[in-house]
Amino acid sequence: MSANDSTLVSIRDLKVHFDLGGGGPLDKLFGTNTVKRVVKAVDGVSIDIHKGETLGLVGESGCGKSTLGRAILRLTEPTDGQVFYNDRDLAHLSSRQLREQRRHLQIIFQDPYASLNPRMTVGQIAGEPLETFRLARGREAEQRVQELLETVGLSKRFIKRYPHEFSGGQRQRIGIARALAVDPDFIVADEPISALDVSIQAQIMNLLERLRREKNLTYLFISHDLRAIRHVSDRVAVMYLGKLVEIADAKTIYNEPLMPYTKALISAVPVPDPQVEATRQRIMLEGDVPSPINPPTGCRFHTRCPYAIEKCKEVVPQLVEIKPAHFAACIRISPAQPHIEDVAPGAAPGLPQTGPQEA
């Protein structure tokens, strides 16, 4: 997958590391925290997001998926790497230049309670971006806000109300209206439905889908909910401890996951069908997700992987196109032997190749 005309956002070897301190001269003097501790929340992620698609980003808590989403918009400063949008590298723009670009790139947050200013009316919240980017003022701005509210399914009578007067789902709609105010091309939706009830989740997913069609939007949809991800996404990227481990279209990744972590993740999703549940064989993972402070060497999943061999502790697997448009990072599979169940015990067909590591 090389950057081509259909690519809207192109991420190259993006890293976000958080320095937790330690290892300084004073630390050594006092004998505390003698080792420098760094959380590698995002550690070398490369992926292209295509115009008009919904790319689902899925992973468990602490895998770095939200940090990746925020780093694309530079709400969190990347440590290294590039984010290309319209041929500009967002990661290296000055703050003034970045401001101009932000108009095109927006975000919807998880917590509809914390992401709206409680002292601003709905009209002010949705209208603020118009003012910031000098897109409209006065009468025109008010009319635009009314349209926005109707677009997201809220009555324009609500314009003078405050966030606390709304339910979670309605607040999420306000957050969506705010993101849409500037007519963006690209929206990072960071767990937009996780805090909502089931019946409201469906409403918000349908709303986002309708808006994508009507306004030619491109989404990065971040969620830990595989059922939701499968439903809204065209392609899905799976993240584990700061790295992408598998990328494929949504249907394929669900029906035919290749990387052992993805397999376990998908097998863990409860299916709302008692008959399926009764007969289903789950891949049970041992233990917890390791700490991102000192992630395991080699393949970061090797500590929990039922297929791990000695080599997995040493070699950092690269994303390889195992099947057409289906990338996975695992040394124990290769394009010739894509299914790990069929690979001879102890064999690592993905090993000797040097090369393709790009998604």
Q: SS3 of 303, please?
A: coil
Interface pick for another protein out of 95, 199, 281, 354 (rule CB under 8 A): 199
223 or 318: CB nearest another protein: 223
140 or 277: CB nearest another protein: 277
Write down the least CB distance from residue 163 to another protein, Å. Answer: 15
Q: Is 180 in the site for another protein (CB under 8 A)?
A: no
Q: Is 150 in the site for another protein (CB under 8 A)?
A: no
User: In this chain, which stretch among 20-28, 180-188, 260-268, 342-350 interacts with another protein, using CB under 8 A?
Assistant: 260-268
Write down the least CB distance from residue 275 to another protein, Å. Answer: 7
Write down the least CB distance from residue 117 to another protein, Å. Answer: 23
Size of the site for another protein (CB under 8 A): 47
60 or 358: CB nearest another protein: 60
Q: Is 264 in the site for another protein (CB under 8 A)?
A: yes
Interface pick for another protein out of 20, 35, 114, 276 (rule CB under 8 A): 276
Phi/psi of residue 39, nearest 5 degrees: -90, 115
**291: Cβ contacts below 8 Å, ≥ 6 apart:** none
Q: Is 100 in the site for another protein (CB under 8 A)?
A: no
User: In this chain, which stretch among 29-37, 67-75, 205-213, 310-318 interacts with another protein, using CB under 8 A?
Assistant: 205-213
The Cα 196–Cα 203 span in angstroms is 10
Q: Is 224 in the site for another protein (CB under 8 A)?
A: yes
- Own/partner contacts of 317-325, CB < 8 Å, gap of 24 or more, are 317/350, 318/356, 318/357, 319/46, 319/244, 319/245, 319/246, 319/247, 319/357, 319/358, 319/359, 320/350, 320/353, 320/356, 320/357, 321/356, 322/258, 323/248, 323/258, 325/1, 325/248, 325/249
Q: Is 281 in the site for another protein (CB under 8 A)?
A: no
Interface pick for another protein out of 203, 296, 309, 335 (rule CB under 8 A): 203
Radius of gyration from C-alpha coordinates of the chain? 22
Write down the least CB distance from residue 233 to another protein, Å. Answer: 9
Assess contact for 307 and 340: CB atoms under 8 A.
yes
Interface pick for another protein out of 26, 29, 198, 336 (rule CB under 8 A): 198
DSSP class of residue 156?
A: G
Interface pick for another protein out of 97, 206, 294, 353 (rule CB under 8 A): 206
User: In this chain, which stretch among 103-111, 130-138, 178-186, 246-254 interacts with another protein, using CB under 8 A?
Assistant: 246-254
Q: Is 230 in the site for another protein (CB under 8 A)?
A: yes
Write down the least CB distance from residue 88 to another protein, Å. Answer: 33
The Cα 143–Cα 137 span in angstroms is 10
Q: SS3 of 102, please?
A: helix
DSSP class of residue 164?
A: G
Q: Please calculate the CA angle 215-254-222 and round it to the nearest 5 degrees.
A: 45
Q: Where are the alpha helices (DSSP H) in the chain?
A: 25-30, 65-72, 95-102, 122-132, 138-151, 168-180, 198-215, 226-232, 250-255, 260-268, 274-279
Q: Is 31 in the site for another protein (CB under 8 A)?
A: no
Q: Is 170 in the site for another protein (CB under 8 A)?
A: yes
Identify residue 303 by its one-letter amino acid code: T
Q: Is 205 in the site for another protein (CB under 8 A)?
A: yes
Which pair of tokens denotes residue 91?
């990661």
Interface pick for another protein out of 131, 140, 150, 197 (rule CB under 8 A): 197
Residue 56: which of 246, 271, 284 has the closest Cα?
A: 246
Buried/exposed code over 17-26 (b: 16+ C-beta within 10 A; e: otherwise): beeeeeeeee
Q: Which residues make up the interface to another protein (CB under 8 A)?
A: 60-61, 167, 169-170, 197-203, 205-206, 209, 224, 226-228, 230-231, 250-251, 254-255, 264-278, 280, 282, 284-285, 287-289
